[in-house]
Amino acid sequence: MEYVLETQSLCKRYKQFTALSELDMHVPKGSIYGFVGRNGAGKTTLIRLICGLQVPTSGVYTLWGVKNNEKGITNMRRRMGAVVETPSIYLDMTAKENLQQQCRVLGLPDEKYIGDVLSLIGLSDTGKKKARNFSLGMRQRLGIGIALIGEPDFLVLDEPINGLDPQGIIEIRELILRLNREKQITVLISSHILDELSRLATHYGIIDGGRMVKEFSAEELERACRKCTRVEVTDTRILARVLDRMQLSYQIIDDRTADIYASPTVSVLSAALQKENCELYSVKERDESLESYYVSLVGEAKKAQ
Amino acid sequence: MIKLLSANFMRLWKDKLFWIGMVFMFGLGIVIPISQYFDAKQYFFEHHFDETMMAFIFFIGFIAAVFCSNFIGTEYSDGTIRNKLIVGRRRTEIYLSSVITTAAAAVCMMAAYFLSYSVLGLILLLPPKMGIGKLLLMILIGITSMIALISVFHMVSMLVTKRSAAIIICVVLFLVLWMIAFSVYNRLSAPESIASYVIMSDSGEPVMQDMLNPKYLQPNERVWYQLVQDFLPTGQHVALTNPELMVHPVQMLVYSAVICILTTVLSIVFFQKKNLK
């Protein structure tokens, strides 16, 4: 798999405080990577590092295979756009002037991009209104618009829906999906609003205490979160034989526990197991979401520590 | 770097504080010769063009302190400095382009003053007493010392990321530098003797007698005071308003260059290591 961003044992310390610790991360090309973690987990620190705002204490990261300590990293950054924490916009300028500024920073002809970007972010009709008078959602969209100048291949968005109203959240979500699908832009989104993230992301990375707890794809999450029935039996080998005969998909958790991705009739299953001298102890319905998956992963990580 | 300069100059063009400074300096260039003209008419004084040519220098320093810290501070407060770093612009480029922009803004404000002062001054005031060479040298020292001062303000503004704090520090720093320059000027211009002591003569009449001035600088001290006067941009500014103090004009130019280079190199080193948010 080709990765846009990879980190290897990335660390960042501020005096006594360790913000990132041996972080390994892989953002596949073309993905929408949901970077999940509670406040203070290290999401923004990682974003600051990859944007060149800060330097790692140790470890490396690569952008399109170029390491952060190599000369070519600045050229790779030109393929990036980012909104870190708050949108970086001149408040006493209009939306158009803000985009013109970024065009100049990148040495691009103004007119080529500005009209397209303004309509893409839905700010074409803001005229002479200064960014100071924009709503939070408009500012957020303008921030994304600035990040889009120069047609980046990789967009980094730090908490893009924080503080937005429901309409603003929908607009940002649709914009991100459009950019990913129509322009094939790889997107890294950090957020702790898991429900919203699960509507967008194709890949996830869960960070806690500056460490990567787990990386997984949306398919893996779907498998993990599929509606299932958790059963407890005396022997899961017998259960597996029975379920194979019943043509039901399942996953063995341990010697006594298994998840069945269906809702079998309990009496039928119990009778079938009984025939093979296997007792059915309990049956529970499970309906896992990204949120519960996150909680269980972080909980396991805490126990492991 | 050209791209960053282009972006910075576009921003400068739209900067309100810059235009306020320009209008103020242009207005000052009108007010000073007119007031000198009426002063001359009323009290029958002779005012020459060069006497008040550099009278603006305190004002431009103050405006530069506020403008520079606000212009740079906005990059931090609005977070727009990130937009430059994220797309791969080097920190050295960012620093140099903004120091060039703020210095150019200060020079533009000075030019606005010189423009209005020159037109009205040549019409209303007597011709300059000093030669054109010395006039140009004074203007050159004015510009270089201003750029040196901007370099100092720029360093403060880039390293203190809070805009309001940067503005306060720059203004206070400017006033402190002026106070130092004035106290140095007072010592340098102190006469060798003072006639303030009164004694009674044999006939009982009070007599004034010259006494040695305790504030008069001895030659070894004078060297150091003169060095401070020549080195400090505000010291140079005081000298520009009292041209008889301009004893080392070439050294003044060199010192301004030294200040520019030192502050720029030092702050680039710190800025490279700075954790930005």
**DSSP state letters, chain A:** --EEEEEEEEEEEETTEEEEEEEEEEEETT-EEEEE--TTSSHHHHHHHHTTSS--SEEEEEETTEETTSTTHHHHHTTEEEE-SS----TTSBHHHHHHHHHHHHT--HHHHHHHHHHHTT-GGGTT-BGGGS-HHHHHHHHHHHHHTT--SEEEEESTTTT--HHHHHHHHHHHHHHHHHS--EEEEEES-HHHHTTT-SEEEEEETTEEEEEEEHHHHHHHHS-EEEEEES-HHHHHHHHHHHT--EEE-SSSEEEESS---HHHHHHHHHHTT--EEEEEEE---HHHHHHHHHHHHHHH-
pLDDT at A110: 67
Could B277 and A82 be called an inter-chain contact, meaning their C-beta atoms sit closer than 8 Å?
A: no
Amino acid at position A19, single letter: A
∠ Cα B45 B47 B49 (to 5°): 175
Whether residue B84 lies inside any domain: the answer is yes
Chain A residue at shortest CA distance from B83: A88
pLDDT tens, position by position, B140-171: 999 999 999 999 999 999 998 888 999 999 99
Comparing CB atoms, the residue among A51, A76, A100 nearest residue B85 is A51
Higher-pLDDT residue of A187, A246 = A187
Phi, psi (deg, nearest 5) at residue A67: -75, 155
From A155-159, A187-191, A196-200, the region with the lowest mean pLDDT: A196-200
Under 8 Å between Cβ of B144 and B253:
yes
Could you tell me the two tokens for B213? 């001035």
Whether residue B12 lies inside any domain: the answer is yes
Whether residue B131 lies inside any domain: the answer is yes
Mean pLDDT of A116-136: 87
pLDDT at B200: 67
Whether residue B204 lies inside any domain: the answer is no
Q: Is B275 on the interface with A (CB under 8 A)?
A: yes
A292's CB contacts (< 8 A; 6+ apart) are A225
B16's CB contacts (< 8 A; 6+ apart) are A92
| B199: pLDDT strictly greater than 70 | no
- On chain A, the residues whose CB falls within 8 A of the CB of B78 are 88-91
Provide the whole-model pTM: 0.80
| A226: pLDDT strictly greater than 70 | no
Higher-pLDDT residue of A197, B74 = B74
B48: DSSP letter: B
Is the Cα torsion angle B93, B99, B100, B101 positive or negative in sign?
positive
Residue B249's domain comprises: 2-194+211-273
Q: What is the mean pLDDT of chain A?
A: 86
B28's CB contacts (< 8 A; 6+ apart) are B56, B59, B113, B116, B117
| B6: pLDDT strictly greater than 80 | yes
pLDDT at A164: 76
| A188: pLDDT strictly greater than 70 | yes
| B126: pLDDT strictly greater than 90 | no
| A290: pLDDT strictly greater than 90 | no
Mean pLDDT of B54-66: 91
Tell me the shortest Cα–Cα distance from B60 to chain A, in angstroms. Answer: 24
Q: What is the mean pLDDT of chain B?
A: 88
- On chain B, the residues whose CB falls within 8 A of the CB of A70 are none
B163: DSSP letter: H
Comparing CB atoms, the residue among B10, B89, B276 nearest residue A54 is B276
- Considering only residues 71 to 90 of chain B, which have any Cβ-Cβ distance to chain A shorter than 8 Å? 74, 78-90
Phi, psi (deg, nearest 5) at residue A33: -95, 115
Whether residue B71 lies inside any domain: the answer is yes
**Phi-psi region for residue A60, left (φ > 0), alpha (ψ -120 to 50) or beta?**
beta
pLDDT tens, position by position, A237-266: 999 999 888 888 888 888 899 888 777 788
Question: At B204, is the secondary structure helix, strand, or coil?
Answer: coil
Which of A5, A83, A105, A158 to mutate to probe the B interface, most B CBs <10 Å?
A105
- On chain A, the residues whose CB falls within 8 A of the CB of B82 are 51, 53, 82, 84, 88
Q: How many C-beta neighbours within 10 Å does residue A110 have? A: 16
- Kindly report the length of chain A: 305
Whether residue B202 lies inside any domain: the answer is no
pLDDT at A249: 80
Could B90 and A146 be called an inter-chain contact, meaning their C-beta atoms sit closer than 8 Å?
A: no
Could B87 and A81 be called an inter-chain contact, meaning their C-beta atoms sit closer than 8 Å?
A: yes
Total domains, chain B: 1
B1: pLDDT confidence band, cut at 50, 70 and 90?
confident
Q: Shortest CA distance to A195 belongs to which of A217, A224, A168, A173?
A: A173
Give start and end residues of each alpha helix (H) in chain B: 2-13, 16-43, 57-77, 81-86, 91-124, 132-159, 163-188, 219-231, 233-241, 249-273
Comparing CB atoms, the residue among B6, B78, B88 nearest residue A91 is B78
Whether residue B117 lies inside any domain: the answer is yes
Could A88 and B6 be called an inter-chain contact, meaning their C-beta atoms sit closer than 8 Å?
A: no
Tell me the shortest Cα–Cα distance from B84 to chain A, in angstroms. Answer: 7
Higher-pLDDT residue of A62, B45 = A62
| DSSP codes joined into one string, B136-155 | HHHHHHHHHHHHHHHHHHHH
Tell me the shortest Cα–Cα distance from A198 to chain B, in angstroms. Answer: 27
Could A74 and B90 be called an inter-chain contact, meaning their C-beta atoms sit closer than 8 Å?
A: yes
Q: How many CA atoms lie within 13 A of A194 on its CB side?
A: 18
- On chain A, the residues whose CB falls within 8 A of the CB of B86 are 51-53, 77, 80-82, 84, 147
Higher-pLDDT residue of A98, B243 = A98
pLDDT at A253: 84
Amino acid at position A108, single letter: L
Residue A180 C-alpha from the chain's centroid = 13
Mean pLDDT of A93-106: 91
Whether residue B148 lies inside any domain: the answer is yes
Amino acid at position B53, single letter: M
| A173: pLDDT strictly greater than 90 | no
Could you tell me the two tokens for A173? 């979500």
Could A80 and B90 be called an inter-chain contact, meaning their C-beta atoms sit closer than 8 Å?
A: no
Could A52 and B88 be called an inter-chain contact, meaning their C-beta atoms sit closer than 8 Å?
A: yes
Comparing CB atoms, the residue among A53, A81, A104 nearest residue B276 is A53
Mean pLDDT of B84-99: 91
Under 8 Å between Cβ of A77 and A119:
no
pLDDT at B198: 67
Give the whole-number percent of chain B exceeding pLDDT 70: 96
Could B78 and A51 be called an inter-chain contact, meaning their C-beta atoms sit closer than 8 Å?
A: no
Which of B14, B78, B94 to mutate to probe the A interface, most A CBs <10 Å?
B78
pLDDT tens, position by position, A28-83: 999 999 998 888 888 999 999 999 899 999 999 999 989 988 888 888 888 898 98
Could A101 and B275 be called an inter-chain contact, meaning their C-beta atoms sit closer than 8 Å?
A: no
Give the whole-number percent of chain A exceeding pLDDT 90: 24
Could A105 and B14 be called an inter-chain contact, meaning their C-beta atoms sit closer than 8 Å?
A: no
Q: How many C-beta neighbours within 10 Å does residue A57 have? A: 15
- On chain B, the residues whose CB falls within 8 A of the CB of A73 are 88
A51's CB contacts (< 8 A; 6+ apart) are A77, A80, A82, A84, A156, B82, B85, B86
Q: What is the Cα–Cα distance from A273 to B9, expressed in whole angstroms?
A: 80
Tell me the shortest Cα–Cα distance from B81 to chain A, in angstroms. Answer: 8
End-to-end alpha-carbon separation of chain B, Å?
Answer: 23
Comparing CB atoms, the residue among A73, A78, A87 nearest residue B87 is A78
Could A100 and B10 be called an inter-chain contact, meaning their C-beta atoms sit closer than 8 Å?
A: yes
Under 8 Å between Cβ of B248 and B226:
yes
| B112: pLDDT strictly greater than 70 | yes
Question: At B265, is the secondary structure helix, strand, or coil?
Answer: helix
Q: What is the Cα–Cα distance from B255 to B141, expressed in whole angstroms?
A: 10
Give the whole-number percent of chain A exceeding pLDDT 70: 94
Question: At B203, is the secondary structure helix, strand, or coil?
Answer: coil
**ipTM given for this complex:** 0.81
pLDDT at B21: 94
Chain B residue at shortest CA distance from A46: B277
| DSSP codes joined into one string, B212-262 | E-TTSPPHHHHHHHHHHHHHSHHHHHHHHHSGGG-S-HHHHHHHHHHHHHH
- On chain B, the residues whose CB falls within 8 A of the CB of A90 are 11, 74, 78, 80
A203: pLDDT confidence band, cut at 50, 70 and 90?
very high
Is the Cα torsion angle B116, B119, B120, B126 positive or negative in sign?
positive
